Amino acid sequence: MLLGIPDPQILIGYGLAVGLALACIVYGYLYWNEEEKTNGS
Amino acid sequence: MAVNPFTMTVLVLIYLAATLVIGYLGYKKTKSSEDYLVAGRCSHPVLIALSYGATFISTSAIIGFGGQAANLGMGLIWLTVLNIGIGILLAFIMFGKKTREIGHRLSAVTFPDLMCKIYKSPMLQYISGFIIVISMPLYTAAILIGGARFIQPTLNISYEGSLILFAVITAIYVVFGGLIAVMYTDAFQGTIMFIGMTVLLVLSYIAVGGITAGNTALTNMANLVPKALADQGMTGWTTMPSLGSPIWFTLVTTIVLGVGIGVLAQPQLVVRFMTAKDNKSLNRAILIGGPFILMMTGVAFTVGALTNVYFFQTSGQLAITAAGGNVDAIMPLFINQAMPDIFVVVFLLTLLAAAMSTLSALYHAMGTALVCDLWGRGRECALSLRHHQYGIIVMMVLSTLLAYLLPISIIARATAMFMGLCAAAFLPAFAVGVYAKVPVTKAALYSMISGAVIWFAWTAFIHVAESKPLGLCQAIFGKASLLPLPWSVVDPIVIALPISMIVMVVMQLQYSKKQPAAPAPAA
């Protein structure tokens, strides 16, 4: 039991939620000045 | 609650005044129809992120789904996973950039207008506009109810009065300032929401004795799960429901999938992509959007579940019992009873901000759909500011009337219904439309119609949570649902979305070689 939560499915959910929020920060930082592509559909 | 009414009134008035002043700044910047409809297509990344996030997160997420977490437990955190993974990362990277590029190139100003121009089909514009005008008032009404439920006891005014106050004040700056005013005020309101939810998380864990102690106390309450819920598969508030049980289906299919996927094709959010000047703006918005959503839904669902610990420790009752059986009343009651007086004010402002930011976006989306995509399509008035203002007022009145009529505990359900319909009707046609080199009109039409019709049929005749209160199935067939368990608890999105997707893909593959590639419009 981690942080009082016994179910790994709940813990994985919290881990993924925090991890994805961090991924957003990393993506935004890495592509801060992304060059524009000129293609369209 | 012992908040000084004078202090409360003054702070609320300051907030409302600030909102109206910011809305006025947006109004002053609105010079053309493009400004009114897509904020001039040059919004700042911070504005896009906070506007998208604040529009995405409403009182439904905080009050409605927070209350659901009190009822169903921390399994709702999986909705936060989808909110960030799909609602931010996938939405911005996979759809946002393409939508912005195509929207700019085709000069699309609304979601139905975008669909019409991608597929070169006015019929698609009519159908998607019609779906928006018919279904969005339901979601709007749910948000109005969420805000009014908190305002009513806090300001000690009638429920009807709080509904009208809420609706009218929000409509004022939307009607006059258009999308620029909406996005300016969204950013202001999003900032208040972020501060409010952060404070709520900290104070809630303090109220239940800390993170581990609070969670452990909640875990130890598993034996208190009401028999009715236990019989349907609930195992506790810190564990997932039993796999395949009715509550598992409700949690996973209606709440997590229905809302988590539904966000991808919400017209009021898709328009936000078209306000970005370039893709850099969208990348920068992602950096803010992810943490913002984590602090909104992640906190609401965690605190919602923990309210059980607080109410049990203070009154020996579960949260749902303390709230008189009304799921939508749990979070407001917890805030009023457990939080320091000053935070009750902060949270009132947070809720006002959450509701107003989403309401304003929905008013704008409904009003422009009514005028630009239905009534005035192809006519000069389709881009008339005056007519859009009338359209917004009409839809505001309709939504407020609907809010009076809806039953209790409806917030989360109505939100999930709207998002499920959006996904089933719009998502396949939208996704293929922004990526296909030769978007097939017939495929989009059939996909949209099949998604909407199947979603409605499943809602009215199979999914017992809606078919029972609707009563249509009972009136025609003499029973609440045409199918037995587990089908009667499977959310319509799980059926309607795959079918509309299959229709879209099969017809797209079949007809894409027959339909000539449309020449790219001039930039």
Nearest Cβ partner for B290 among A6, A9, A23: A23
Encode pLDDT of B203-245 as tens digits.
Answer: 999 999 999 999 999 999 999 999 989 999 999 999 999 998 9
pLDDT of residue B299: 95
Q: What is the mean pLDDT of residues B475-504?
A: 92
Residue B261 has pLDDT above 90, yes or no: no
The answer to whether B140 and B399 are in contact (CB under 8 A) is yes
Identify the residue whose tokens are 């493009």. Answer: B34
Nearest Cβ partner for B290 among A14, A16, A24: A24
For testing contact with chain A, the best of B114, B119, B294 (most A CBs within 10 A): B294
Give percent above pLDDT 90 in chain B.
Answer: 51
In the 3-class helix/strand/coil scheme, how is B441-452 assigned residue by residue?
Answer: HHHHHHHHHHHH
pLDDT of residue B516: 62
Residue B77 has pLDDT above 70, yes or no: yes
For testing contact with chain B, the best of A12, A16, A18, A20 (most B CBs within 10 A): A20
Q: What is the mean pLDDT of residues B409-417?
A: 78
Nearest Cβ partner for A25 among B118, B239, B287: B287
Task: Report yes or no: B217 at the A interface, CB cutoff 8 Å.
Answer: yes
Q: Do B77 and A6 touch (CB under 8 A)?
A: no
Q: What is the mean pLDDT of residues B99-118?
A: 93
Residue A35 has pLDDT above 90, yes or no: no
**Distance separating alpha carbons of residues B503 and B510, to the nearest angstrom:** 10
Region of B239 (left: φ > 0; alpha: ψ -120 to 50; beta: rest) is beta
Closest chain A CA to residue B302:
A14
Closest chain B CA to residue A18:
B294
User: Which pLDDT band, with edges at 50, 70 and 90, does B295 fall under?
Assistant: very high
Encode pLDDT of B192-202 as tens digits.
Answer: 999 999 999 99
Encode pLDDT of B147-156 as tens digits.
Answer: 787 777 767 7
**Distance separating alpha carbons of residues B168 and B514, to the nearest angstrom:** 51
Distance from the Cα of residue B190 to its chain's centroid: 15
Encode pLDDT of B376-412 as tens digits.
Answer: 776 655 667 888 899 999 999 999 999 988 876 677 7
pLDDT of residue B404: 87
Q: What is the mean pLDDT of residues B466-489?
A: 88
Residue A41 has pLDDT above 50, yes or no: no
User: Which pLDDT band, with edges at 50, 70 and 90, does B523 fall under?
Assistant: very low
User: What DSSP letter does each residue of B248-276 carry, written as one string?
Assistant: HHIIIIIIIIIIHHHGGG-HHHHHHHHTB
The answer to whether the complex's ipTM is over 0.85 is yes
Residue B64 has pLDDT above 90, yes or no: no
The pair of structure tokens assigned to B88 is: 């931010």
The pair of structure tokens assigned to A13 is: 């959910």
In the 3-class helix/strand/coil scheme, how is B11-72 assigned residue by residue?
Answer: HHHHHHHHHHHHHHHHHHHCCCHHHHHHHHHCECHHHHHHHHHHHHCCHHHHHHHHHHHHHH
Q: What is the mean pLDDT of residues B169-179?
A: 88
**Distance separating alpha carbons of residues B202 and B473, to the nearest angstrom:** 46
Residue B313 has pLDDT above 60, yes or no: yes
pLDDT of residue A21: 96
**Distance separating alpha carbons of residues B330 and B321, to the nearest angstrom:** 9
Q: Do A25 and B294 touch (CB under 8 A)?
A: no
Q: Do B89 and A24 touch (CB under 8 A)?
A: yes
Fill in the amino acid letter for B476. I
Closest CA to B376 of B390, B363, B359, B362: B390
CB proximity list for A38: less than 8 A, separation 6 or greater: none
Q: Do A36 and B279 touch (CB under 8 A)?
A: yes
